[in-house]
Amino acid sequence: MKESGKSIYDLRHDFEKATLNESDVDNNPAIQFEKWMHQALEAKVVEALAMTLSTASKEGKPSGRILYLREYADNRFAFFTNYKSKKAEDLLENPFASMNFFWQELERQVRIEGSVEFHSKEASDKYFYSRPHYSKVGAWSSPQSKVIKDRAELEGLVTEFDTKYKTEDVPRPEYWGGYILKATYYEFWQGRKSRLHDRIAYTLQDDNTWKIERLAP
């Protein structure tokens, strides 16, 4: 495999900002996540709500993309999207997914796995109507994940729907709304020196308690 410029083998960064021990974490991973998210927001982490959402088709073929987390509470995590998108097609066939947050400024990651179901229509309406005008227009204009001829086709659709809804509130399309990931597994990762990172995992048990374990880096 050909390399270009400086060898990527030489591009290294050691992690030394913090540690993570079993005694540090809450027994409830939802509370631990809320604590770390609060710290990320306080530290002004760039795009702290951004996550990689990974899905898989019924054949097990994976795909990932960056989305924003929009709600979280009680081990439930909400995101919103087009129900005709690639991720939606995957979730229809295989209703399981993972979320991965990377907060570089804190040298932390959080990985969350679980089953996915539709969010309520009321929650989808509430979030949709909180969005700026052109974000709502965009939900109508973009045939997400589908092939289009060129940028002009997309811009033409934006103009069409912007004109249509110029004098009225933009309604939520029936094909756009929310999902809830119900967490059954978490991993909290704190970068450490020499790649000997701290990894604390939570696994949901049959009695709805959480088993906490340390993983090797």
Q: Just list the catalytic residues.
A: 195
Q: Write the single-letter amino acid at 183.
A: A
Angle at 157 between CA 153 and CA 160, to 5 degrees: 135
**Number of helices followed by number of strands (H, E) in the chain:** 5, 9
Tokens of 17: 């900002």
Tokens of 6: 């400086």
φ, ψ for residue 69, nearest 5 deg: -75, 135
- Asked if 75 contacts 123 with a C-beta cutoff of 8 angstroms, the reply is no
Give the Cα separation of 16 and 107 in Å (integer). Answer: 8
Neighbours of 3 (CB within 10 A): 8
Q: Write the single-letter amino acid at 187.
A: E
List helix spans (H) across 50-186: 86-93, 121-130, 133-141, 151-164
Residues 60, 112, 119, 142, CA torsion sign: negative
